[in-house]
Structure 1
């Protein structure tokens, strides 16, 4: 019995690790490519039908709990498609207290593009998926701490150390 456990347990651990890492490993070459590329200096507005002239730079504004706003709020009707502003790998889909329903995409330069307050996700999106710029990630809503506000997308950009960058100057 002990002999069987000596090789079975490490095998089970390797299988579990493989299953957990598979979404990332299947795009290993693309991940390396993204890390070598610089971040684009111009990004499309990630809400369908919203133009640059409709944006307001809300970066740094006061927020609850003594926080500063680490992104830009892009207002649109509930259900308006949210589009990936860059190509990359979906690294997270899920709920958090502030952002509600969120999607994060790792893009060129190792920067994370964070989409928050979604009403729902695109039906075919999964962690580990490769997406192109313009791919639908989800739909505008007001989940999380935005439940008392008009529907909008909170869009943030973070470097590989999760330090926030103002997305407003990049959106064209």
Structure 2
């Protein structure tokens, strides 16, 4: 009995000692005075990085490219993949009601994810304590702290998550999936990376009207109007009426996501752009012969011809006048939702007229 009591006391003493050591370790790690360099008389003040306001978009993109390339050199991740993740994060913000101000790097993290869920200091920038509490925060700028408001630090944190499993393309794909837990997100990022790799620039937001402005055509705002064939539904696009065979052009830099027959849209093609918007072209008479899913297109490139296909089994045509049904759908990370393309078509039409006028001068 005495032996059993002695063992219980010893076990209790060890448990108490372990608990006290844990508390002491946490206190040390969370103490700004301990975390500060030995030469400092007082801990550095935590100041939020001032985000530059770029009046010139080119200057903004140049700064972004510089940060992406530095992170690429440091991690071995292609800058195009880092740019794709950054852009994908930015597109998710576009679908929110409250949009954050434009920054050089669009990647963001919740505060608790950055410092660690159990970290008592929600403003922590100390790498040791952030790591102890399993936070994602990293130092990408080389100043020795992990600042959530620093563009380079947020990019470094994302890079660390991407290569968590390794640096092969498959390893990085797994890293992305583990972070987003969404196959759709990984597919979008790979599409974006493909575009950046093809053109070697971040300047990929130019647009064009879907028909040549020299063609004879007409259109008006019809988005939201009722449709009856195949059951009641709303019209999710704008109809641009023109003669059979008039060229249909890509409106954006993008990746062909879908080609083939749709019982409503007939011969149709779907293109995904860098704003995570799906451009839907329907009722075509034919495609350009060389195109296939996965191909990259640019604004003004011919992708098909005006027709009147649809409303039936494959090959059905002539149930309505020839026209292009043009739709826009935004991906919020989970679903695509339709929005009115008419204002964008008017803008791109005006821009094409201006370009033509400048070219003819």
TM-score tier (shorter):
0.7 to 0.9
Q: Does 1:165 align with 2:336?
A: no
1:27 to partner: Cα distance? 5.2
> How far apart, in 2, do the equivalents of 1:165 and 1:92 lie?
19
Give the paired residue count: 145
Q: Please tell me whether Structure 1 or Structure 2 has the larger radius of gyration of its CA atoms.
A: 2
Tell me if the contact between 1:142 and 1:150 (Cα under 8 Å) persists in the aligned partners: yes
Tell me if the contact between 2:192 and 2:274 (Cα under 8 Å) persists in the aligned partners: no
Higher strand share: 1
Larger RCO, structure (CA 8 Å, separation 6 or more): 1
Tell me if the contact between 2:251 and 2:300 (Cα under 8 Å) persists in the aligned partners: yes
Q: How does 1:49-60 map to 2 (within 5 A)?
A: 49=213, 54-60=218-224
What's the secondary structure of 1:49's corresponding residue?
coil
* Residues 61 and 26 of structure 1, relative CA distance in 2, 3 Å threshold: closer
* Residues 46 and 28 of structure 1, relative CA distance in 2, 3 Å threshold: closer
Q: Does 1:94 align with 2:257?
A: no
Deviates more, 1:123-132 or 1:143-152: 143-152
Higher helix share: 2
Q: Does 1:82 align with 2:248?
A: yes
The residue aligned with 2:151 is none
Q: Deviations over 1:121-164 (max 9, x none)?
A: 01111110010011111000000027321100000000112200
Q: How does 1:6-155 map to 2 (within 5 A)?
A: 29-30=193-194, 43-49=207-213, 54-64=218-228, 65-145=231-311, 147-155=318-326
> How far apart, in 1, do the equivalents of 2:238 and 2:275 lie?
20
1:108 to partner: Cα distance? 2.0
Gaps of 5+ in 1: 1-23
RMSD: 2.9
